């Protein structure tokens, strides 16, 4: 049965409609994983020397012992971020003559197949063999191995368990965050140190190896907890999110834009009520801190706006770029209805301009906190914002008329490659590069001239918007059947 | 004559799925389009709504090719499948949106919906759910009602009886009969021979994309159709 499940997953992967992008992404991820494994091997075998080099004079066992729990704490947080719940895939098997036990077991085993479970073994095991065994004896070494292996299991099932209960009840997340912040705070204030705690635990095991059996016990406990939770909740309704009363909403400020405003309001609801677009747009808020990497004091002092242009265009236009790259795939599910109904395509595009314009303005307002560094940044942001609204929107919407990929907006955004195609990848190039083409020659006269040039292009784009809308409508009409057909093909 | 189809052809992967030499639909007719799976009913409807491009031929709606102008959208309402619904809206929001496309205000929409309370059977309005959380039958109700609300001259419904509970099927049937008027032309595809012969004045039978039979209904129609399908 195991092999059948695995084979189904394997064929499912190869036959998914989005194969190209998924495979490309998997290959890149695979290479990255191989690289990381290589690094881990290296680290594992020269850990002794590394500790010696970076912390000379310190007892290597003390550092090693301190590292273990520290590593697994970070490991746990990383897992919460990236480890996927292998739950939904079993829905088609629930009604068949397959014992529940087998399905649960499959989920358990399936979750183990992940590189993240391999890293710690490669990093820590060589040191145990090479240093712990000769120093403390084989029994202690064996207990170290067992403890580390158990921690991997503990983290694997612990993270999944936490994700499962938090998917069902979002309220558990808050105390978890508080706890995390508390531990981090204590660590920062040097009141409580994970490393010191870890050292104490493992030093004890080194001397009294029998105590190491605590770890497999803990791992087994969390495994059984996870197991009983899964067994009791293996119902379709439990695998999906909980119910709460939904209400109708209205955005009166958009009403003055007429039919286009109605469509823009519709898309705002799309973003707020669906997982993937919601996550995509929220990601944009995190990217607002991007500027801190770029805005260095000497750049600001010497007016090197060219080097500040990239983060400025990216931050003020990140929804245009990241949300816009999948257009009109967000609406793939109802696209047929849009075409068959009396929706004017001109209004459809005007709605996109309104939406993208609002988002760029909001982001620019939010990034105004960089003004505390220098008012010059505000000037760069304003120029970029105007450019994004005037020019980037047109570029993005043009590429959107060449995007035929359906996306399931109810799925999460993390590691989700659905809808990515050559055109979605290509589109960021002209958006991010074109401002430089305008800025560079003009900046020879003066950096402010460069900014003015960008602003003028943006304003010109806005002034000639009705021409561009007409152009986009023509392009759209040329390919609308192909777009609709692509959206009807779901994986 | 509201619809005129000439030499229409659609080919998928080498297989002809629609092949209609000539077909006209007159004003005020209620036409049942029937045929087994793969007969080309949905493909025909999609071409009629300019959702897919024919490989050859044309569909004229009131004399204009549907692929060339959007004129037909003003008087055509349709519901083919859930792809026509906006599933992250509540039914109320969806009706108001569709209403706004036809210059209907919120009060007008609500007034219209009140006349459909019986059809909804208390399961659609004020349920605090998005359309995606409704059952397929109830989603169908939303789609069909939204189409009717547009007060169209041409109504296109793809398997409207599917997924509906028996009570609603009968209510829908009665309602469709009630709506019959010289100003409304209706195209209905269905697998339910009983309903379709009951509601429609004319039946067009498709097989592998071709029109096999095209006749006006009488008391023997049902038997004839049953005979054909049990071959």
Burial class (CB in 10 A: 0-12, 13-18, 19+), A439: buried
Q: B196 and B203 in contact (C-beta within 8 Å)?
A: yes
B105-124 burial, b at 16+ Cβ within 10 Å, e below that, comes to: eeeebeebbeebeebbeebb
Tokens of A141: 């070494």
Contacts of A340 in chain B (CB under 8 A): 49-51, 73, 76, 78, 80, 84
Rounded to an integer, what distance in angstroms lies between the CA atom of residue A253 and that of residue B56?
46
For chain B, the residues whose C-beta falls within 8 A of a C-beta of chain A are 46, 49-53, 70, 73-74, 76, 78, 80-90, 92-93, 96-98, 100-102, 128-130, 132-133, 150
Contacts of A362 (CB under 8 A, 6+ apart): none
Banded model confidence at residue B145, pLDDT cuts 50, 70, 90:
very high
Once rounded to an integer, what is the mean pLDDT over residues A69-79? 85
Q: Which three-class secondary structure string do you get for B121-163?
A: CCCCCCCCCCHHHCCHHHHHHHHHHHHHHCCCCEEEEECCCCC
Q: B153 and B76 in contact (C-beta within 8 Å)?
A: yes
CB within 8 Å: A342 and B89: no
Q: Which three-class secondary structure string do you get for A394-462?
A: HHHHHHHCCCCCCCCCCCCCCCCCCCCCHHHHHCHHHHHHHHHHHHHHHHCCCHHHHHHHHHHHHHHHH
For the segment A6-29, what is each residue's pLDDT rounded down to a tens digit? Answer: 777 777 777 665 566 667 777 887
Q: In a mutagenesis test of the A interface, which of B91, B100, B107 is the best target, namely the one with the most A β-carbons within 10 Å?
A: B100
pLDDT for A241? 47
Q: A356 and A324 in contact (C-beta within 8 Å)?
A: yes
CB within 8 Å: A342 and B101: yes
CB within 8 Å: B83 and A343: no
C-alpha closest to that of A357 among A329, A390, A328, A324:
A390
Tokens of A208: 């009294």
Contacts of A334 in chain B (CB under 8 A): 83-87
**pLDDT at A88 > cutoff 80:** no
Output phi, psi for B73, to 5 deg: -65, -25
For the segment A292-322, what is each residue's pLDDT rounded down to a tens digit? Answer: 888 888 888 888 888 888 889 999 998 998 8
Mean pLDDT score of chain B:
91
Nearest to B92 among A248, A270, A274 (CB): A248
What are the distances in angstroms from CA A91 to CA A56, A88, B131, B136, B196?
55, 6, 22, 18, 36
Q: What is the ipTM of this complex?
A: 0.76
For chain A, the residues whose C-beta falls within 8 A of a C-beta of chain B are 243, 245-249, 259, 262, 266, 269-270, 273-274, 333-337, 339-344, 409-410, 481, 484-485, 488
**pLDDT at A240 > cutoff 90:** no
What are the distances in angstroms from CA B1 to CA A332, A469, A480, B5, B139?
34, 36, 28, 11, 32
Higher pLDDT, A163 or B8: B8
Output phi, psi for A118, to 5 deg: -90, -35
Contacts of B129 in chain A (CB under 8 A): 246
For the segment A152-175, what is each residue's pLDDT rounded down to a tens digit? Answer: 999 999 988 888 777 666 666 677
What are the distances in angstroms from CA B8 to CA A211, A282, B35, B55, B206?
81, 48, 18, 8, 14
Nearest-CA residue of chain B relative to A347? B101
**How many cross-chain Cβ pairs, A to B, lie less than 8 Å apart?**
81
Edge-to-edge strand list for the sheet holding B15-25: B15-25, B3-12, B56-61, B64-65
């Amino acid at each position: 049965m195991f092999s059948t499940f695995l084979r189904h997953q394997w064929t499912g992967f190869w036959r998914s409609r989005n194969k190209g992008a998924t495979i490309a992404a998997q290959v890149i991820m695979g290479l990255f994983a191989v690289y990381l494994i290589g690094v881990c091997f290296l680290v594992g075998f020269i850990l002794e020397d590394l500790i010696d080099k970076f912390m000379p004079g310190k007892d290597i066992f003390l550092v090693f012992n301190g590292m273990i729990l520290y590593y697994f704490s970070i490991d746990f947080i990383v897992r919460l971020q990236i480890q996927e719940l292998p739950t939904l895939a079993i829905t088609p098997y629930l009604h068949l003559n397959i014992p529940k036990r087998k399905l649960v077991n499959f989920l358990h085993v399936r979750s183990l197949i992940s590189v993240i479970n391999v890293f710690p073994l490669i990093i820590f095991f060589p040191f145990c063999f090479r240093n712990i065994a000769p120093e403390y004896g084989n029994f202690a070494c064996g207990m170290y191995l067992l403890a580390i292996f158990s921690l991997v299991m503990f983290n694997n099932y612990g993270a999944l368990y936490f994700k499962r209960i938090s998917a069902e009840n979002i309220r558990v997340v808050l105390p978890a965050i508080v706890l995390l912040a508390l531990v981090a705070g204590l660590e920062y204030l040097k009141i409580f140190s994970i490393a010191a705690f870890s050292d104490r635990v493992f030093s004890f095991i080194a001397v009294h190896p029998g105590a190491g059996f605590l770890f497999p016990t803990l791992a087994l406990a969390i495994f059984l907890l996870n197991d009983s939770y899964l067994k009791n909740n293996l119902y379709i309704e439990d695998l999906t999110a909980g119910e709460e009363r939904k209400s109708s909403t209205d955005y009166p400020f958009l009403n003055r834009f007429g039919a286009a405003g109605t469509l823009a309001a519709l898309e705002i609801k799309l973003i707020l009520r669906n997982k993937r677009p919601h996550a995509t747009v929220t990601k944009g808020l995190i990217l607002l801190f991007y500027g801190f990497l770029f805005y260095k004091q000497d750049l600001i002092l010497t007016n090197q706006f060219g080097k500040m242009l990239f983060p400025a265009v990216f931050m003020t236009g990140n929804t245009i770029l990241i949300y816009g790259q999948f257009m009109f795939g967000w609406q793939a599910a109802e696209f047929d209805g849009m075409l068959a109904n009396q929706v004017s395509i001109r209004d459809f595009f005007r709605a996109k301009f309104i939406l993208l314009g609002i988002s760029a303005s909001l982001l620019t307002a939010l990034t105004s906190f960089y003004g505390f560094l220098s008012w010059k940044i505000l000037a760069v942001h304003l120029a970029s914002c105007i450019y994004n609204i005037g020019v980037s929107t047109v570029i993005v919407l043009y590429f959107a008329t060449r995007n035929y990929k359906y996306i399931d907006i109810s799925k999460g955004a993390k590691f989700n490659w659905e809808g990515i195609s050559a055109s979605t990848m290509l589109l960021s190039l002209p958006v991010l590069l074109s401002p430089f083409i305008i800025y560079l020659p003009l900046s020879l006269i003066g950096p402010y001239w460069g900014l003015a040039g960008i602003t003028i292009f943006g304003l010109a784009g806005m002034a000639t918007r009705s021409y561009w809308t007409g152009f986009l409508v023509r392009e759209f009409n040329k390919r609308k059947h192909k777009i609709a057909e692509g959206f009807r093909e779901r994986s | 004559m509201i619809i005129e189809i000439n030499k229409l052809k659609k080919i998928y992967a080498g297989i002809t799925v629609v092949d209609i030499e000539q077909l006209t639909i007159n004003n005020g007719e209620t036409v049942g389009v029937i045929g087994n799976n793969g007969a080309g009913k949905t493909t025909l409807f999609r071409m009629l709504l300019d959702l897919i491009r024919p490989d050859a031929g044309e569909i004229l709606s009131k004399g204009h090719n549907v692929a060339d102008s959007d004129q037909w959208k003003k008087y055509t309402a349709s519901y083919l499948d859930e792809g026509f619904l906006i599933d992250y809206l509540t039914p109320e929001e969806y009706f108001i949106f569709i209403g706004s496309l036809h210059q209907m205000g919120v009060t007008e929409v609500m007034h219209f919906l009140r006349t459909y309370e019986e059809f909804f059977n208390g399961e659609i309005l004020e349920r605090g759910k998005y359309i995606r959380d409704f059952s397929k039958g109830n989603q169908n109700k939303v789609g069909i009602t939204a189409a009717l609300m547009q007060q169209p001259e041409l109504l296109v419904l793809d398997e409207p009886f599917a997924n509906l509970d028996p009570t609603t099927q009968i209510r829908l049937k009665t309602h469709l009969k009630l709506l019959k008027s010289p100003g409304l032309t209706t195209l209905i595809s269905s697998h339910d021979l009983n309903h379709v012969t009951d509601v429609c004045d004319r039946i067009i039978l498709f097989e592998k994309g071709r029109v096999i039979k095209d006749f006006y209904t009488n008391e023997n129609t049902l038997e004839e159709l049953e005979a054909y399908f049990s071959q």
